Amino acid sequence: MRFLHTSDWHVGKVLKGHSRLDEQRAVLREIVQVARDHRVDAVLVAGDLYESSAPSADAQQLVVQVLLALRRTGAEVIAIAGNHDHAATFDAYRPLMASTGITLAGGVRDAADGGVVEFTARSTGEPVVVALLPFVSQRHAVRAAQLVTLTPGQAAAGYGLLVRDLLAALTAGFRDDAVNLVTAHLMAARGKLGGGERSAQSVVEYWVPEDAFPPDAYYVALGHLHRRQSLPAPCPVHYCGSPIALDFGEQDNPSVVLVVEAEVGASARITAEVPIRSGRRLRTVRGAVDELARHAGEFGDDYLRVLLCEPARAGLQQDVRRLFPNALEVRIDPAFAAPVDPVNTARPSTPAGVERGPAELLHEYCVTRELIDERVEALFARLHDQATTGNA
């Protein structure tokens, strides 16, 4: 049988004030096309369908339409909640989605109560068993472990051990005559960060050791890390990564979805890493404005992060944004930024008894920040004059 593995759509993500919804619509349309072209038996969406736990109506409409479109390809569609998704809302819509043949999993469930999904692959008639592990927060790990494994005594064990117990319980019913799969949203040990994950939820207590993955799983389809990667484990464990670069830290990640073939009694293999191209590229450019100006027009509609190799001056931002309308972030390269350590920003020593006026203070401040521009001081003088003489 054949399935498609995708995750971390983050629908509704806004980058520096720019909505990505149109791009995401195109990206998801591409994914539906991949499912159709490869005639997959199933689509596994391994969490973080949304960027936010309270997604906009537009974001929800897009996700619902895409799940239905995936289902219309004839594939089984299974989606689990990631840490960005609102698990309880997923569970609220679970019965409605189930009526269309889509499995939506919000919270962790016992195997007998929806934690494991079984179906027959339409292409080969093979039985398929999928164990579902939506994201478990550390706070909820203990409760979920009690619910599923009934071992309250293990509350003191670490997060990784609790998740291992959950996976063991969910995969206990794996069958010899079936293709046995796992999909989960978690931080695996040794996973490399893609740059856009919430760091607070990728801290060290949250990782899951590689021996948590059952040796008899044909394939473990993970979500959470945005970089496509495979991990050493007793069975094939893969992150497919996000199909769109979500932040400048992810600009070099390949955006793909994975097509996987598995057969009862044989090992699963990734037969295609299909590039997803609809997301606009994120690109970091570095240089002085004059230098960069010579390359204006070379960057297409890429979203840009501009690191300027020159000291700050008034109007610099505007100059850059005029040159590069797609610049979402304009910063002075740290090597050219004014020092900000207390020694340099401390007030210059003043002879006792000498009071300095606001204009002098501003001038001194500008000197410490290496912001030398007489227009700024002139503007300040005019505004200060207006403010103090009541002419504003």
261 near Mn ion, judged by CB under 5 A: no
Per-residue H/E/C for 21-81? HHHHHHHHHHHHHHHHHCCCCEEEECCCCECCCCCCHHHHHHHHHHHHHHHHCCCEEEEEC
Q: What H or E segment, with its residue span, contains residue 273?
A: strand 269-275
User: CA distances (Å), 262 to each of 2, 166, 363, in order?
Assistant: 6, 24, 70
Q: How far is the CB of 376 from Mn ion (least distance, A)?
A: 42
Answer for which of 48, 76, 126, 250 binds Mn ion (CB under 5 A) is 48
Tell me the window of 5-13, 126-134, 145-153, 206-214 that interacts with Mn ion (CB under 5 A): 5-13
Our CB check for Mn ion shows the closer of 201 and 317 to be 201
Our CB check for Mn ion shows the closer of 48 and 247 to be 48
Nearest position to Mn ion, beta carbon: 48
Q: How far is the CB of 67 from Mn ion (least distance, A)?
A: 18
**Under 8 Å between Cβ of 234 and 215:** yes
The angle subtended at Cα 49 by Cα 48 and Cα 55, nearest 5°, is 100
Our CB check for Mn ion shows the closer of 107 and 191 to be 191
Q: How far is the CB of 301 from Mn ion (least distance, A)?
A: 24
Our CB check for Mn ion shows the closer of 8 and 165 to be 8
Answer for which of 1, 2, 3, 8 binds Mn ion (CB under 5 A) is 8
Tell me the window of 44-52, 126-134, 265-273, 380-388 that interacts with Mn ion (CB under 5 A): 44-52
Task: Tell me how many residues contact Mn ion (CB under 5 A).
Answer: 2
Rounded Cα distance between 45 and 82, Å, is: 10
CB-count burial class (<10 Å; 0-12, 13-18, 19+) for 226: buried
CB-count burial class (<10 Å; 0-12, 13-18, 19+) for 285: middle
Our CB check for Mn ion shows the closer of 50 and 324 to be 50
Our CB check for Mn ion shows the closer of 126 and 197 to be 197
Return the bridge partners of 283, or none.
304
Rounded Cα distance between 216 and 223, Å, is: 20
Tell me the window of 8-16, 156-164, 350-358, 374-382 that interacts with Mn ion (CB under 5 A): 8-16
**Under 8 Å between Cβ of 280 and 288:** no
What length does the chain have? 392
Q: How far is the CB of 81 from Mn ion (least distance, A)?
A: 11
Q: How far is the CB of 197 from Mn ion (least distance, A)?
A: 6
Q: How far is the CB of 82 from Mn ion (least distance, A)?
A: 6
Footprint on this chain of Mn ion (rule: CB under 5 A): 8, 48
